[in-house]
Amino acid sequence: MIHPRLKSANRLLAGLLGPLLGCTAFAQPLSPLNFPDRVRYDGQMLVQVELRSVRDLMLVNQISDDCWSHSAGPAIAGGMGTLDYRMDAAGLRTLREAGMTCRVLDPNLQRTVDEEAIRLQGAGDGRFGPRGWYDDFKSPQQVSDFANQLIAMRPDLASRKNFGLSLQNRDLYFLRLSGEPAPPGTSKPIVLLNSVQHAREWITVMTTMYIAEQLISGYGVDSRATQLLDDYEVLIVPIVNADGYAYTWTNERFWRKNRRQNAGGTFGVDLNRNWSFAWGSDNGSSGNGNSETFRGTAPFSEPESAAMRTLTLDNPGIVLHLDVHSHGQLLLYPWGYTNQPAPGIGALSKLAVGMRQAILDSGGVPYLPGQCYQTLYPVSGGSLDWYYGDRGILSWTPELRGPGFAPPPSTILPTAKEIYAAVLWLAENFCEADFDQSGFMDTDDFDAFVYAFEEGLPKTDFNHSGFVDTDDFDAFVAAFIEGC
Ligand code: 0X9
Ligand code: ZN
């Protein structure tokens, strides 16, 4: 803790020197270092815990509520896998005394946070190194400025729109990218990407911004970027949890939730437990405001998740969705709320396996595809299940690279590049004519379409015109004949 007297001396000094140096406090780079009230992590470490039984899991959950990552369950014979937790030395001792195998991944989280803050302060002068904008993580303002620069580069391809306000009245915005327009009376299928529902997962923002940049700067130059923007419209929400993300830059680096003041003096709702599909289960979320997975008082009680819902309903052409998180090198698909397989799991899994391969082919690291519930842990009220279960939109949650939430900045570009490769592959291999989502196309798809079309179901609006008519039938037949 900084001594309060030192704090006021600092303020005094800033007040005197600011005008002399011709600058104000706001001209300083936004670095956590400029915020003396930030939460400290003295004595805290990141520990990878090997779980062999449910008893192990229960014990570790008594020690720490802050799970940071996850490895594959099947990776350890006869066990349940490993999980990474933030804890102190006493917690580690308790686990070891109970016979559990623990590996300290980061012995000193405060040092990691300090090193990052010093680096970010140095990087805040507007000059870039060899990796350009991806040299280091970027503050909310820097992300917004970069979005504007991208749009200024190609206003014919890219635009930006606000779609709501956060709890603390920050603008929530998305980028819309699109090349050739759809034929009159129809619209193109839409890919929706969003990052940072969880405030501390900074690398996810860098990744979706990289995808935006690659598509914009690659249009007309790179055939794959061009094709993607001609075939689809792409919506990108770089910052869902606007208040939480800002808060991690100023006050608490490892904050996860939004900034709701809950009853009982606790703060924050986990936005990824606040969606209405399977909301409310204690298996995969918590009813306790103190918990890192607090689901809120009602589905969509939070303006940030509610605005995402509205954005989605306002864009009925969305066919693919990625909710980008970190970390764990996973490609998760529904369901999160149950271990039962989702109907249509064939297509979800086949496309996840394809994305894994595309990542590897691009020179990236291995990502493990799998159903969220078993591959990671139960999640109820998450966006993944809502997109798939409520809207019928194919949805995945990539968990990007770590280590931790403050990885070295050299991790940013390789991570962003591999996820861009996955998105390109996904868009190129997604097949709307696989109507029954079995993972391959056959006469069952034809039968399923005809049946749904006769019923007038909204999902047979195949040309995305806003209503179902014989043009949709013709569009489906054309796609079916073309094959996948
Ligand atoms: O717990 C989560 O919300 C995600 N993991 S994280 O470590 N980034 O917090 C996993 C979410 C998977 N998606 C859904 N089941 N909705
Ligand atoms: Zn997350």
Residue of 376, 386, 396 best suited for mutating to test ligand 1, as the one with most atoms within 8 Å of CB: 376
Ligand nearest the Cα atom of residue 336: 1
User: Are 255 and 248 a contacting pair, CB within 8 Å?
Assistant: yes
Domain boundary among 429, 451, 467: 429
Ligand 1 atom closest to the CA of 69, numbered from 1: 7
Taking alpha carbons only, the member of 420, 330, 415, 417 closest to residue 375 is: 330
User: Could you give the CA distance from residue 156 to residue 79 in angstroms, rounded to a whole number?
Assistant: 54
Partners of 178 in beta bridges: 233
pLDDT in tens, the chain (484 residues): 333 333 333 333 333 333 333 333 344 556 666 677 889 999 999 999 998 888 898 899 899 988 887 554 433 445 567 888 999 999 999 999 999 999 999 999 999 999 999 999 877 666 777 788 999 999 999 999 999 999 999 999 999 999 999 999 999 999 999 999 999 989 999 999 999 999 999 999 999 999 999 999 999 999 999 999 999 999 999 999 999 999 999 999 999 999 999 999 999 999 999 999 999 999 999 999 999 999 999 999 999 999 999 999 999 999 999 999 999 999 999 999 999 999 999 999 999 999 999 999 999 999 999 999 988 889 999 999 999 999 999 999 999 999 899 999 999 999 999 999 999 999 999 999 999 988 889 999 999 999 999 999 988 999 998 899 999 999 999 999 998 8
460 and 316 in one domain?
no
408 and 339 in one domain?
yes
The residue whose two tokens read 């918590």 is 286
User: Are 348 and 234 a contacting pair, CB within 8 Å?
Assistant: no
Residue 156 C-alpha from the chain's centroid? 27
Report how far ligand 1's centroid is from the alpha carbon of 272 (Å). Answer: 7
- Backbone φ and ψ for 77, nearest 5 degrees, come out as -60, 130
Q: Based on the number of CB atoms within 10 Å of its own CB, is 208 exposed (0-12), middle (13-18) or buried (19 or more)?
A: buried
**Residue 321: which H helix or E strand, with range?**
strand 318-326
Residue of 272, 286, 375, 393 best suited for mutating to test ligand 1, as the one with most atoms within 8 Å of CB: 272
Domain hosting residue 460, numbered range: 443-482
Report how far ligand 2's centroid is from the alpha carbon of 207 (Å). Answer: 14
176 and 48 in one domain?
no
460 and 413 in one domain?
no
- Residues in contact with ligand 1 by the CB-under-6-Å rule are 198, 201, 272, 325, 332, 336, 372, 376, 379, 382-385, 397, 399
Look at ligand 1, atom 1, and give the residue with the nearest C-alpha.
379
Report how far ligand 1's centroid is from the alpha carbon of 219 (Å). Answer: 32
268 and 135 in one domain?
yes
Residues 6+ apart with CB under 8 A from 12: none
Ligand 1 atom closest to the CA of 334, numbered from 1: 15
User: Could you give the CA distance from residue 385 to residue 389 in angstroms, rounded to a whole number?
Assistant: 5
Report how far ligand 2's centroid is from the alpha carbon of 420 (Å). Answer: 19
At 271, the amino acid letter reads L
Ligand 1 atom closest to the CA of 326, numbered from 1: 8
370 and 308 in one domain?
yes
- Tell me if the pTM is above 0.75: yes
C-alpha separations of 212 from 193, 229, 385 in Å: 10, 11, 25
- Backbone φ and ψ for 208, nearest 5 degrees, come out as -70, -30
| Residue 24: inside a domain | no
- Tell me the pairing of strands 394-400 and 171-178: unpaired
Domain count, the chain: 3
CATH (domain of 88): 3.30.70.340
248 and 151 in one domain?
yes
User: Could you give the CA distance from residue 334 to residue 385 in angstroms, rounded to a whole number?
Assistant: 6
453 and 353 in one domain?
no
| Residue 246: inside a domain | yes
SS3 (DSSP) at 398: strand
